[in-house]
A and B are shown apart, each in its own frame.
Chain A
Amino acid sequence: MNEETEKYCFEVGDGICVWNIQTNEFSYSPQLKKLLGYNESEFPNTFEEWKQIVHPESIKTIEKNLDNYFSGKTSNYIDEVKFLCKDGSYKYILIKGKVINFTEDGKPLRIVGIHSDISIQKQREEELKNSIELLGHQNQKLLNFAYIVSHNLRSHSSNLEMLINLLDFTEDKDEKLELLDHFRSVSNQLNETITNLNEIVSIQNNINREKEHIKLKKAIEQTIEKLQDEIFRYNINVEVEVPEYLEVIFNPTYMDNILISFLSNSIRYRSLERKTNILFKSYFKNDQIILEITDNGKGVNLKKNGSKIFGMYKTFHTNSSARGMGLFIAKNQIEAMGGKIEVESEVNIGTTFRVYLT
């Protein structure tokens, strides 16, 4: 390259640098300095100084790629380097370099590097990666949901099929009538499962379900009223430590279901060895309203069952009336309202559900 061409190259297009490998001198086109926000005097003048404005992540790949080029493994030096700009931000620069002339004894003398700003592409790439990750995550969630739906439906449909199979072997009239009763029960279970699955789908589709101002204490008292029969029958003591005035902005249907799920869960898993106490308590933490429901019931080993506690499958206790879906639906409803739920539990001590009502 003659001097005139070189000069021309220096003034147009992308940033260009020339590195004299033997003297370690660096020279740059004005565009390159401008690209990174530096002025003439600030820009480093040796390879070592140049490395100081390169992000540490990039240093290793630069050394590796230069090595590959000089040893003949690659025909060009190509690199994506993260540069520190004067304003403290970073830019991604694509560098394409090639040795343009050699010393008399054949050593590389000068290498020219063309620098293109690919920050925008890099940013898009990053956004794309995040989107793919998010979509992958959502796909996985949907797939899991599909497996759960399939499992829950199949367990009923296979019961129906087996009952029909059994009917073929049955001659006795009374026995046939007994089977009919079982058909009815399995059919009811199937219906209930479908209702629950529909509920979950509608929760997940209606992120912006209508919210209202709800007086929390009143809502809790209405829930207690609904379960009054069981509370009385098992002689359970329920206390509410929630201020009269406290209001939350929440979907009222969800609130009803959440409160009833937690209260009936505490009643269902009461300890048979002591009088049951259940406490509803609210407090503020970082401007968030938190509702705790604490019981002194059977408790759950969270190490063993922690991942399953809000799962859609069955339950943890050998209790025939237990249906696993209640807490799963409640959790979905809390999350659909922008809240979250935590649980603490110890076997034979009790359980605390902590609901962040936002």
Chain B
Amino acid sequence: MNKINTIWIVDDDQFYVFVLKKLISKNSLCNEILSFTNGEEAITHLGEVINSQENFPDLIILDINMPLMDGWEFLEEYINIKHLIEKDIPIYMVSSSINPIDIEKARTYPQISDYILKPIKMDDLKRIMD
């Protein structure tokens, strides 16, 4: 398994982020984890990274229901600036929603690698970081 460098977690649930970070670092799955409490924070940071062309994430774990800018709005913004990003960043939607509307919607975005229902399991983490 290749160890990946940077993961971004975009989620407003502080406990989930805390546990996910611990699980990832305890299993030494990656070197650096950044977290953002909503889509807007993540998009703002992505803009800064584009300017410097350094430290792009290797993986984004994205929630749907968040304040200010939710997961769908983040994706729309991301698609608008994607041409400025040279690498392909896999995005995994990780949500508590079993609403088929959400699951179907996720399928319509080629940018989304997979839709994972919370809780995210160790096996899921190992799989998506492979």
> Smallest CB-CB separation from B101: which chain A residue?
A147
Q: Identify which of B23, B66, B97 contacts A162 (C-beta below 8 A).
A: B23
Q: A166-B26, A318-B37, A318-B38 are in contact. Are A154 and B96 (CB under 8 A)?
A: yes
Q: Identify which of A151, A169, A186, A322 contacts B98 (C-beta below 8 A).
A: A151
Q: Determine which residue in A157, A158, A165, A186 has the highest number of CB atoms from chain B within 10 A of its CB, and name it.
A: A158
The reply to whether A158 and B99 contact each other, CB–CB distance below 8 Å, is no
Q: Is B122 in contact with chain A by the CB < 8 A criterion?
A: yes
Number of interface residues of A (CB under 8 A): 29
Q: A155-B13, A182-B18 are in contact. Are A162 and B68 (CB under 8 A)?
A: no
Q: Is B19 in contact with chain A by the CB < 8 A criterion?
A: yes
> Smallest CB-CB separation from A319: which chain B residue?
B67
* Interface residue ranges of A138-176 to B (CB < 8 Å): 147, 150-152, 154-155, 157-159, 161-163, 165-166, 169-170
The reply to whether A151 and B97 contact each other, CB–CB distance below 8 Å, is yes
The reply to whether A166 and B23 contact each other, CB–CB distance below 8 Å, is yes
At the interface with chain B, which of A21-29, A39-47, A308-316?
A: A308-316
> B106-130: contact bitstring with A at CB < 8 Å (1 yes, 0 no)?
0000000000011111100000000
Q: Identify which of A154, A165, A304 contacts B118 (C-beta below 8 A).
A: A154
Instruction: List chain B residues, Cβ under 8 A from A315.
Output: 67
> Smallest CB-CB separation from A152: which chain B residue?
B96
Measured CB to CB, the closest approach of chain B to A303, in angstroms, equals 12
The reply to whether A317 and B20 contact each other, CB–CB distance below 8 Å, is no
Instruction: List chain A residues, Cβ under 8 A from B18.
Output: 182
> A294-326: contact bitstring with B at CB < 8 Å (1 yes, 0 no)?
000000000010000000011111101010000
The reply to whether A165 and B98 contact each other, CB–CB distance below 8 Å, is no
What's the dominant secondary structure at chain A's contact region? helix
Instruction: List chain A residues, Cβ under 8 A from B41.
Output: 318
The reply to whether A314 and B97 contact each other, CB–CB distance below 8 Å, is no
> Smallest CB-CB separation from A300: which chain B residue?
B68
Measured CB to CB, the closest approach of chain A to B38, in angstroms, equals 7
The reply to whether B66 and A314 contact each other, CB–CB distance below 8 Å, is yes
How far apart sit A170 and B23, CA to CA, in the bound complex (Å)? 10
How far apart sit A157 and B121, CA to CA, in the bound complex (Å)? 13
Q: Identify which of B23, B73, B96, B122 contacts A158 (C-beta below 8 A).
A: B96
A-B contact pairs, 30 of them (CB 8 A): A147-B97, A150-B96, A151-B65, A151-B95, A151-B96, A151-B99, A152-B96, A154-B117, A155-B13, A157-B119, A158-B96, A158-B120, A159-B13, A159-B15, A159-B19, A162-B19, A162-B23, A162-B119, A162-B120, A163-B15, A165-B121, A166-B22, A186-B15, A313-B65, A314-B66, A314-B67, A315-B67, A316-B67, A316-B68, A318-B68
Binding site for A on B (CB under 8 A): 12-16, 18-20, 22-23, 26-27, 37-38, 41, 65-68, 73, 95-99, 117-122
Q: Beyond A151-B65, A155-B118, A158-B118: 9 further Cβ-contacts under 8 Å?
A: A150-B98, A154-B96, A158-B16, A162-B119, A165-B119, A166-B23, A189-B15, A314-B12, A317-B68
